[in-house]
């Protein structure tokens, strides 16, 4: 029976000499010979010189291919190289193979989904951090290899974060990562909602880190839902910022609430009163507590039952707390406002729930004027009287407050502008200050005055134009920040390097100005892509530039952006980073 040339080229029993002849007859036959497991190694080497992609791919898959040829083609056909039956033997013969092959070839191999664990383990001894990064994120990397990488690279934040972010990361590895010498990794673990309590406990006891970093980590642990009660009790004795974080946690046990209520700093700052997750039923259990600080905290807390507040409104030591409580009924606040004790009246004046009629009653006592001026419920007629009285106060701090209060009459501001130069910076901030007074204040040429006038929403466009040319960057920046600055002035400031970042975030910046900013080598790109006024063509240019950014997180942001066009997504779907490719492909599929 006569076999065709194609059948002979594919047949394993075809003599080697015949395969040589067939391979040279045509590219198609050469491809079949390259696939034949009986092909001579030298013939396979010869076939590679044809530069046909299909032939090269078949040669890489052939177990007879010489090792040097396999390695030279592994970068182009990494999957075929790994699937070649001879690959495990190569690895056993030479455990250092991952170290000896070229950098780019190794990276390509590590990007494949199916990589032998032995290969990953041997490659983990590589010195290059990019190689280690690829191993750390590979789904097939064994736990023992990840642990070795974590131990040997205690200063590499990127590598540590890569391991910590793995979905299959174990508690054992996280305990090793908790010993990391940088700040970012322990802080990440302290914040992560799935970090085991044993790891959080180890992080809380870490004394090797900088003091400021320790405080940040302890605050994060205090907020973490996985933190055990024993660790929280320890943290409740740490720095005030850490104690505050503990006091604001949800579902605090009664023992910890009592411990925090007894703490002088937490008590004086009334931090527990801000924790609205503490239920009224639990507060009710504490109404008979022997410690006064605990009962006082209950009197302050807005979740305390009304019947308790009504009862304590008649108890001398707890009346002040009831007067401060935002849940106290209006009729009880009116009763307490009539009390002869100025401190109780002051607590009523500070209570955000105090109604206008009660505040009007408190206005009879000028000692509470500053509190009434700050209260949102103070009637306008009462506020005008209070402001007039405060304007006669001789304390500089009070006069500064009045000078910038939006309800201060223009006549008072005008008088002070002429007689009280120490108040000029605050008068210049006030939206009630007349335009002619603002112009007069500018003649004093004080930096803080010019800065305040530049921010004032009442400043005329002519003055803003003048200030946009000021010699001091802070003044020009204030003009750029002013929500009432006309578009043509904002556009003129685009040439000012000090104002670019502010202009790229000002919602009133016109599209033409944004286009100029976009031409500045990508300095403001991350702000521009979020700006409501940016033109579509400018947005595409900015997204194209960000798609080539060195940071993979920024490229992922571009892939997720709702306005990213298809051609950019297609480019990102070929990105060197797997995470970027995945996001871009998901977006393209949608």
Domain coordinates in residue numbering, the chain: 330-390, 392-485
Q: What is the pLDDT of residue 82?
A: 92
| Lowest-confidence pick of 392-406, 436-450, 526-540 | 436-450
**What pLDDT does 33 receive?**
82
303 pLDDT above the threshold of 60: yes
pLDDT, residue 15, reads 86
Helices (H), 391-529: 396-404, 410-419, 424-427, 435-442, 447-455, 461-467, 473-481, 487-492, 500-503, 511-518, 525-528
- 3-state per-residue secondary structure call for 361-386: HHCCCHHHHHHHHHCCCCCHHHHHHH
Q: Is the pLDDT of residue 337 over 70?
A: yes
Helices (H), 192-318: 197-204, 211-223, 229-235, 240-247, 254-261, 264-269, 280-285, 292-300, 306-312
pLDDT of residue 577: 87
Per-residue pLDDT reduced to its tens digit, 169-199: 999 999 988 888 778 899 999 999 999 999 9
Task: Please give the share of the chain, as a percent, with pLDDT higher than 90.
Answer: 75
What is the pLDDT, as a whole number, of residue 400?
Answer: 96
CA–CA dist 395, 572 (Å, integer): 63
Residue pair 198/171 in contact (Cβ under 8 Å)? The answer is yes
- pLDDT at residue number 546: 94
CA atoms within 13 A on the CB side of 309: 26
Read off the pLDDT of each residue in 527-554 and give the average, rounded to a whole number: 94
**Per-residue pLDDT for 287 more than 90?**
yes
CB neighbours of residue 525 within 10 Å: 20
Q: Given a cut of 60, is residue 1 above it in pLDDT? A: no
Residue 344 has pLDDT above 80, yes or no: yes
pLDDT of residue 2: 61
d(CA 430, CA 434): 9
pLDDT for 25 equals 87
pLDDT of residue 183: 82
Instruction: Collect all residues with Cβ–Cβ distance below 8 Å to 52 and sequence separation of at least 6.
Output: 27, 30, 31
Residues of the chain above pLDDT 70, percent: 99
What pLDDT score was predicted for residue 343?
93
Between 34 and 342, the more confident residue is 342
| CATH class for the domain made up of 392-485 | mainly alpha
Q: What is the mean pLDDT of the chain?
A: 92
Structure-model confidence comparison of residues 586 and 21, the more confident one:
586
pLDDT of 16 = 85
pTM beyond 0.85, yes or no: no
Reported as a pLDDT band with limits 50, 70 and 90, residue 265 is: very high
Contact 8, 28 (CB under 8 A): no
The mean pLDDT of 58-87, rounded to a whole number, is: 91
């Amino acid at each position: 029976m006569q076999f065709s040339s194609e059948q002979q080229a594919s047949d394993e029993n075809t003599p080697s000499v015949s395969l040589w002849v067939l391979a040279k007859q045509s590219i198609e036959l050469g491809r079949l010979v390259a696939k034949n497991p009986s092909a001579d190694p030298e013939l396979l080497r010869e076939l590679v010189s044809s530069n046909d992609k299909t032939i090269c791919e078949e040669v890489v898959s052939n177990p007879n291919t010489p090792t040097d040829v396999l390695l030279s083609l592994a970068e182009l056909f990494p999957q075929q190289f790994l699937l070649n039956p001879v690959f495990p033997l190569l690895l056993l013969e030479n455990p250092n193979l991952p170290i000896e092959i070229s950098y780019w070839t190794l990276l390509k191999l590590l990007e494949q989904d199916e990589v032998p664990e032995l290969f990953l383990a041997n490659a983990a001894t590589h010195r290059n951090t990019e190689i280690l990064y690829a191993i750390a994120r590979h789904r097939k990397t064994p736990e023992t290899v990840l642990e070795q990488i974590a131990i040997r690279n205690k200063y590499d934040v990127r590598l540590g974060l890569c391991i910590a972010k793995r979905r299959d990361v174990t508690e054992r590895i996280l305990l090793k990562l908790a010993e990391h010498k940088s700040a970012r990794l322990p802080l990440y673990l302290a914040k992560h909602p799935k970090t085991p309590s044993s790891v959080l406990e180890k992080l809380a006891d870490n004394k090797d880190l900088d003091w400021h970093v320790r405080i940040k980590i302890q605050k994060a642990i205090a907020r973490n839902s996985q933190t055990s009660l024993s660790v929280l009790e320890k943290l409740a004795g740490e720095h005030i910022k850490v104690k505050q974080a503990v006091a604001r946690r949800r579902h605090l046990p009664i023992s910890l609430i009592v411990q925090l209520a007894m703490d002088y700093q937490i008590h004086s700052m009334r931090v527990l009163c801000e924790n609205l997750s503490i239920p009224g039923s639990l507060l009710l259990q504490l109404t008979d507590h022997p410690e006064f600080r605990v009962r006082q905290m209950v009197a302050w807390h807005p979740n305390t039952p009304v019947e308790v507040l009504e009862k304590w409104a008649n108890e001398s030591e707890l009346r002040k707390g009831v007067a401060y409580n935002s849940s106290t009924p209006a009729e009880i606040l009116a009763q307490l406002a009539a009390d002869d004790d100025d401190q109780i009246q002051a607590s009523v004046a500070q209570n955000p729930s105090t109604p206008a009629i009660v505040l009007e009653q408190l206005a009879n006592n000028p000692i509470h004027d500053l509190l009434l001026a700050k209260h949102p419920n103070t009637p306008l007629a009462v506020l005008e009287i209070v402001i007039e009285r405060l304007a006669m106060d001789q304390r500089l701090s009070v006069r500064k407050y009045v000078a910038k209060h939006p309800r201060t009459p223009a006549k008072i501001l005008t008088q002070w502008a002429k007689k009280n130069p120490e108040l000029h910076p605050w008068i210049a901030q006030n939206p009630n200050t007349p335009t002619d007074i603002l112009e007069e204040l500018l003649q004093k040429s004080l930096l803080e005055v010019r800065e305040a006038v530049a921010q004032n929403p009442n400043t005329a466009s002519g003055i803003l134009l003048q200030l946009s040319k000021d010699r001091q960057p802070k003044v020009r920046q204030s003009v750029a920040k002013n929500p009432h600055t006309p578009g043509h002035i904002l556009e003129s400031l685009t040439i000012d390097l000090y104002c670019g970042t502010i202009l790229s975030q000002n919602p009133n910046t016109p599209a033409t100005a944004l286009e100029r900013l976009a031409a500045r080598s990508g300095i403001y790109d991350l702000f521009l892509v979020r700006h409501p006024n940016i033109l579509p063509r400018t947005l595409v240019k900015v997204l194209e530039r960000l798609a080539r950014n060195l940071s993979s997180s920024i490229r992922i942001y571009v892939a997720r952006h709702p306005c990213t066009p298809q051609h950019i997504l297609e480019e990102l779907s070929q990105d060197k980073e797997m995470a970027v490719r995945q996001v871009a492909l998901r977006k393209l599929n949608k």
